[in-house]
């Protein structure tokens, strides 16, 4: 199973910018990979672990802005079509095993 976190956070003030940076750093520390600047993805082993990550994100939300969390299966992840520039990139494969850091 995969978890995708998408967010749109205000950065008009110094405090808002710090909060957005802190949230991005939290996601990276939790093992998420940046797909785009405000879209992060992470593999999780199942629904229970997915719910744990959702709770952790909820506990670390910035004061303002929008955060959306999507959960989807390995098969759905493999079917994502990705373009970079003007060329189509090969499909990403699911990890063979869970990497520990």
| Alpha carbon distance 50, 74 (integer Å) | 13
In order along its 101 residues, the chain shows pLDDT tens digits of: 999 999 999 999 999 999 999 999 999 999 999 998 999 999 998 899 999 999 999 999 999 999 999 999 988 888 888 887 776 666 666 555 555 44
| Alpha carbon distance 26, 29 (integer Å) | 5
Could you state, in order of their start, the residue ranges of all structural domains in the chain? 2-89
What top-level class would CATH report for the domain 2-89? alpha beta
The closest alpha carbon to 39, from 54, 55, 23, belongs to 23
């Amino acid at each position: 199973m995969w978890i995708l976190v998408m967010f749109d956070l205000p950065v008009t003030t110094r405090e808002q910018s710090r909060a957005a940076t802190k949230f991005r750093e939290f996601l990276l520390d939790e093992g998420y990979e940046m797909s785009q600047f405000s879209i992060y993805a992470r593999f999780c082993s199942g629904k229970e672990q997915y719910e744990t990550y959702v709770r952790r994100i909820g506990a670390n939300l910035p004061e303002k802005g929008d955060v959306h969390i999507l959960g989807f299966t390995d098969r759905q992840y493999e079917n994502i079509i990705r373009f970079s520039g003007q060329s189509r990139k090969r499909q990403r494969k699911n990890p063979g095993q869970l990497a520990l850091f």
